[in-house]
Structure 1
């Protein structure tokens, strides 16, 4: 009998756990609908209570986010020491943020643009749903990939 490691279990995360994990990272991917197809944009973000805020400039990302269609933000992390990974997805609607003094002091001041150029607009995603998963990365011997199943484009 072959002694294979058991497949990793997947833990479905509660909303509070998802928000706690999101507060610990700054990079995610924003999914928006542009014309007739989805687009993904990497971006840095902050949580503000139970919403997501990001900073941007006029362009495709902003136009699509504010068009009124649902958007999604996905963030994840892998702990290289423990091989535990998690992924959280926030789905909701985006709206431009009114830049009150409180907002500028508590959120905007902590959200620095990573790419060059002015990014003077702030967008808030108010979630309709938040979901998350946490799991241990499967060891390579459990992937069940053999050369017989591998793409053979190099030999064909």
Structure 2
């Protein structure tokens, strides 16, 4: 048996990581430690999962979406507070470890004036000043961490 195959077998058998649940407070800390996540929702055409910038403000996730984009359309078509999910994660290929936080909740449009100071607001990476603010109110927050063996 070649060395690479043997190493792969041994690694799978002896060095597998362990999944641990993350509490709600730590989930929010982890959400706040990143500026990009994925918003997810279901349409008649199937599941949609898109990367967006976010900020955690007052126990909610605030994202900005293009008013003409598919997420804004989903929010309008399913108003007043459509269901969606939001996920943020981080991983390390080398140590085969990482974490993932999943928020299930409802969304609603919000005004910039209702948010904290300008420095706390999410800033989309694409250029333009036409972005709408959307608050995601969590109804369920779960997280898992994969720790190396």
TM-score range, shorter chain: 0.7 to 0.9
Q: Number of paired residues?
A: 135
Secondary structure in structure 1 of the residue aligned to 2:112: coil
- Structure 2 gap segments, 5+ residues each: 1-8
Paired residue for 1:63?
73
- Mapped pair 1:13 → 2:26: no
**Displacement of 1:101:** 6.5
Deviations 1:57-105 (A, max 9, x none): 2121112135233100011012467543000000000001122265353
Structure with higher strand content: 2
TM-score normalized by the length of structure 1: 0.75
Query: Post-superposition, which runs of at least 4 consecutive aligned residues in structure 1 deviate over 4 A?
Result: 79-83
What corresponds to 1:28 in structure 2?
37
Superposed CA offset, 1:34-77 (max 9, x none): 23421111111111121100112212111213523310001101
Alignment-derived partner of residue 61 in structure 2: 52
| C-alpha separation in 1, matches of 2:135 and 2:126 | 19
Contact preservation (8 Å) 2:63, 2:133:
yes
Unaligned runs of 5+ in 1: 139-156
Cα RMSD of the aligned pairs, angstroms, is 2.4
Relative to its length, the structure with more helix (as a share) is: 2
1:124 maps to 2:135? yes
Q: TM-score, normalised by structure 2?
A: 0.78
Question: Is 1:32–1:65's contact at 8 Å kept on the other side of the alignment?
Answer: no
